[in-house]
Amino acid sequence: MRVCIVGAGAIGGWIGTRLAASGAAEVSALARGATLGALRTHGWRLDQDGVRTTAPARVSESTADLGEQDVVVLTVKATALAAVVDRLEPLLGADTVVLPFLNGVPWWFTHGSDLGSLESVDPGGRVAAAVPFERVLGGVVHVSCAAVEPGLVRHHLGNGLIVGEPGGGASARVGAVAGVLGAAGFDVTSSTDVRRDAWYKLWGNMTMNPVTALTGATGDRVLDDPLVRGLCSSAMLEAQRIGDLVGCPVRETPEDRHVVTSRLGALRTSMLLDVESGRPLELDALIGAVHELGRRLDVPTPAVDAIFGLTRLFGRVHGLYPDEPT
């Protein structure tokens, strides 16, 4: 199976290295800048459990060089997605599937519903136009990794990948992709409701990411502050009401989820790392989409709005989130 990793950062590097080193797939990568140079010089590199795994990397900054693929794995930041999908056409054959492992609400989430496309995650429907729904496999990743330098990934914890048809049910192509990922050593779940899986993951990190980014605090300190913990719980209850209306119920309480998060200790979320590195914030996909869904469904979301608004303003002040159009 020919697999192209588009976005060879932390998650893309983790997946790409494991696939290439295992021989489970013929792997290539679309990269640029320092990451492109590092992959050309050193190949794939992953530090996990005290062991460095390496593998040769076929990499280019041009999709035309890489050619048609069986699977295109999208692991770019949500903020870069619209620009990237315009370049995918040379990778797409008649049966190519696109498997996004992205933070937050995916662009395909509301496909086929009365809600239409979400402007917060796909302004103007640009991504949906470039990647038709029929090509998409839903993907959810449960892992903590960091790119410690271009082309070098350090794994912290987790090994789970979820793959499923975005419209629900089972299919041969889900089985084929899950089989290749499983052969590379990932803990793969073939889901019949990956949309619900995506919402559940969002429910768990839609507050922790922006709050840590805004405050600079690690996850343990967020949960140790009763006022901040309460604000996060209120936002999660609002998101639960939205989930019920869009067919993605969450059968836990916010406190149940806080217990799970607390086991991660001094968690430095991906958005906190983005702030520290001066990278754009993925606010729209992680909490802006929840704000937008609340407006469309007439669900009051005062806690979500407070977290979104404050972190958005923080991002604008620090040049990490776009200013309002003038």
Residues with catalytic function: 201
Residues 6+ apart with CB under 8 A from 145: 10, 11, 13, 14, 153, 154, 155, 156
For residues 227 and 250, give the distance between their C-alpha atoms in angstroms, rounded to a whole number. 23
- Residue in 211, 204, 207 with CA at minimum distance from that of residue 314: 211
Residue type, 321: Y
For residues 190 and 165, give the distance between their C-alpha atoms in angstroms, rounded to a whole number. 9
> Do the Cβ atoms of 161 and 189 come closer than 8 Å?
yes
Q: Across 17-137, where does the E strand assignment appear?
A: 26-30, 44-48, 51-55, 58-60, 69-74, 92-100
What value, to the nearest 5°, has the Cα angle with vertex 98 and ends 184 and 100? Answer: 75
